[in-house]
Chain A
Amino acid sequence: MTREAVFEQEFPVKGGDFSRAGNVSWEIRNLLKELGLSSSVVLRAAIATYEAEMNIIMYAWEGRLLLSVVPGRVHVVVEDSGPGIEDIELAMTEGYSTATPEMRELGFGAGMGLANIKKNSDAFSITSNVGSGTRLELTFLTNGHRT
């Protein structure tokens, strides 16, 4: 019974859909809270998934977040079909951004996205193919379950 306890949910995100920006991370945040995870883990996951969601909305055509939770661990796969990232190392630098002036006007594109995702997750990996898309894998360790 315990070994089978896996919660999985897929959250689709549409590129360019700024009006729904933040909805996915809000849902994930509330869900993790209901699962009884400590508020610091919930907050880190909320921040990381928010940034990931925003990256899809800003740069990709479409994408999704795949959330899976097992006792002790939250795993999120972020996949998009989009332009991909040419120089990942550069993209990971704090302050580097390819955001358009319009995005910046909306308050986005400070060049903190990927760096912020990495900072807030316990394990982080990124792969990208130019012209087809980007894939992130994030892990959050959740020991310290609330009682």
Chain B
Amino acid sequence: MNYAGRHSVEINAERCIGCVHCMIACPTKAIRIREGKARIIDELCIDCGECLRFCPEDAVESKTTSVSDLKAVPYKVVIPSTVLYGQFENATLPNEILFALRRIGFDYVYEISTICELNNSALEMYLNAHPVPRPLISSTCPVVIRLIQRRFPSLCGHIIPIEPPRENAAKILRANLPRIAKVPASSIKIFHITPCPAKMVSINHPASMEKSYLDGAISIRDIFKTIYQTLRQNREETIMSHLFPETIFSGTGVGTALSGGETRGLKSHRTVAVSGVRDTIRALNQAELGLLKDVDLLECTVCPDGCIGGPLTVENRYLAKSRILRLVQMMGERTVVDSSDMNQLYNKDFLSFHFPIKPLESPPLDTDPAQAITKAKRRNELFLRLPRKDCGACGAPDCRTLADDIVRGQAILEDCPFVKKEET
């Protein structure tokens, strides 16, 4: 399979100064510095966005939908992630943010928390109906899906085959908007407002359906300022929006912006919520070894504290988290999703994957078994000759990876500045 250009981040070669920050931060060792610039190895990248977080030069760009591209769209629909509700100053309520989005020029603003709650109920129904395998893993974080496909292939069958809320929200809109808004289906474009670039990959290259129901994803970073200014310039109207609440919010649904948001409401199941890319890798390894068989639902989000810690957010994640928790408390634990509606959608497979998620194997050292063994041996010998300083000066994140690159024909021993010094 060709992965080239399938990723959600790219290096801006003009801004990149070839320092080592992104390369060292990358959890899958998918970055090298070549000719003074960072390069992403497409086959290894899982779109976690750690590079974007750590780049001091702002040279890692997310390939999300740019706000200027929206102008040409005849009927613009937006589905903001609930993470957006935690990004503004304390007194700003979700209603005001939705109001601002309408004011900015979106023709239809869809509030997703109800669908998030619906998703939680669907997960529970799936857990009840499927006693094996364990643990089951939710599909919300697209990076977790890619991580499982690449590194934990045997867990593909553990992923609950229910599309995440953003996709199901868009699916519901596609089915109903032409009628409700009286616009032709072809002029409707649906965008998600996202805290992470990975959503863009799941839209452009979905793993469980032929075509995503979404047309793009706008970064919170990119649209934040416009929303902020709109809120400030239209204070009175904003306040009015409280008096005419148009939307029913789900406290449970808003809570899914945080790690544990999918597991908190489950009463009769044992659950574990893990966040952060390294801890997620550890948990998935334990699951694959069969050590988590007593866990019913494993919720993994690769951003710290859940989607609220996404690399495209603007607010300090602790503040954002505290605001979300406050909203959840305000909105209460009441259920807004009707259980018979829910049952119908679930039983019709309306919320389900179109096809199961399949493993993606990473390239071995060599396709010939004997050659692969010889290369692994040589790699160990080379590693012993390297200084083990893991400085990154050679262009690889650590000495072990340099040895690996050498046997794969991607680097030479002399790339290591310490080796050179010794030999001349």
Report which A residues bind B (CB closer than 8 A): 1-2, 5-7, 9, 22, 25-26, 31, 33-36, 39-40, 43, 46-47, 50, 69-72, 107, 142, 145-147
Contact = CB atoms under 8 A, between A and B. Distances in A.
B380 A9 contact: yes
B370 A2 contact: yes
B235 interface: no
Nearest to B374: A5
Interface string B340-366: 000000000000000000010110111
B67 interface: no
Interface in B147-188: 153-154
Interface string B277-307: 0000000011011110000000000000000
Nearest to A35: B372
B371 to A, nearest CB: 8
Contact of B154 (A6, A31, A43): A43
A31 B373 CA distance: 10
Nearest to B292: A107
A121 to B, nearest CB: 15
Contacts of A9: 380
Contacts of B289: 22, 25, 46-47, 50
Nearest to B285: A26
Contacts of A35: 364-365, 369, 372-373, 376
A33 B372 contact: no
Nearest to B379: A34
Given A39-B153, A39-B361, A43-B154, A34 B372 contact: yes
A71 B369 contact: yes
A22 B364 contact: no
Contacts of B369: 5, 35-36, 71-72, 142, 145
B366 A36 contact: yes
A5 B370 contact: yes
A7 to B, nearest CB: 5
Contact of A36 (B290, B365, B374): B365
B282 to A, nearest CB: 8
B377 interface: yes
B364 A71 contact: no
A9 B286 CA distance: 23
Contacts of B291: 107
Contacts of B365: 34-36
A34 B377 CA distance: 12
Nearest to A40: B154
Contacts of A46: 288-289
Contact of A5 (B362, B364, B373, B380): B373
Q: Max chain A CB contacts within 10 Å: which of B365, B371, B373, B376?
A: B373
B373 A34 contact: no
A69 B380 CA distance: 14
